Every structure is written in structure tokens, then in C-alpha cells.
Amino acid sequence: MKTKFAFTIVELLAVAIIISILVGVGINAYNSSIYRSRTVTFQENVNGVVDCLNVYFSINHRYPDSLEEIRGCLNHTPVNPFTGRDMLTDGSIVYIQLDGGLEYTIVINQPNK
């Protein structure tokens, strides 16, 4: 009398369901971490632009007419991590010079999830 050892269909389905749940949780965690890293990169790029605006002001005693004037101050072109486009020209950062160049306002347009 030989005994065969095998998995039943119920056991295989249980394993498949458990694996599916683990994959679903893993994919959600991965997507959340990607979004957080893109958000941090976006904020760092904005901070770099603000720093360059302040450097420009300290040298010229006024803020620039457009963001293109600070391009030389930046170590690299700030690329929007959500779109892959240049943040100075794609509308991610809207720069408004105020009070004859003595003040400025920037509006940040970060894409949502």
C-alpha cells in the first residue's frame, strides 16, 4: 500500500489568496514610497529656486524679472519629478515679481496622486 502526498485544491487556493494579499500590500507600499520621494524631490527643487532668488537679490538688490535669469545660479535644471519637464518653464513654479523687484511671490503647482 503506497500513500501519495499531494496538496488539495483548497490548500492551493489558500496559498494563492495569501500571496495575492501580500502582493497587493507590497504594491501599495511601493507606490506610496515613490510618491513621497517625488514630493521630497519636488520640494528640494523649489527650495533651490528660492535660494537662487535670494542670491540674485543679494547681488543685484532686486529680484529677477523672470526665473530664466537665475538659471545660471542653479547647479542643475530643476526637473519636475512628476512630469519630467523643466520646472522653470512648465508652470510648476509661477513666479510673480512685486514692488519693482523688491519682493516676489511664487505659486507652487504640484500634481496630486
pLDDT tens profile 35-91: 999 999 999 999 999 999 999 999 999 999 999 999 989 989 999 999 999 999 998
Taking residues 28-40, what's their average pLDDT? 94
Number of domains in the chain: 1
Residue 2 lies in a domain: no
pTM of the model as a whole: 0.78
Give me the pLDDT at residue 113, please: 58
DSSP secondary structure letters along 16-58 = HHHHHHHHHHHHHHHHHHHHHHHHHHHHHHHHHHHHHHHHHHH
pLDDT in tens, 84-110: 999 999 989 999 999 888 999 999 987
What count of other Cβ atoms lies within 10 Å of the Cβ of residue 30?
Answer: 10
CA distance 90 to 92: 6
The domain in which residue 55 lies consists of 10-108
Asked if residue 4 is part of any domain, the answer here is: no
Domain for residue 41, yes or no?
yes
Rounded to whole angstroms, the Cα distance separating 106 from 29 reads 32
Evaluate whether residue 113 is within a structural domain: no
Distance CA 69, CA 63 (A): 10
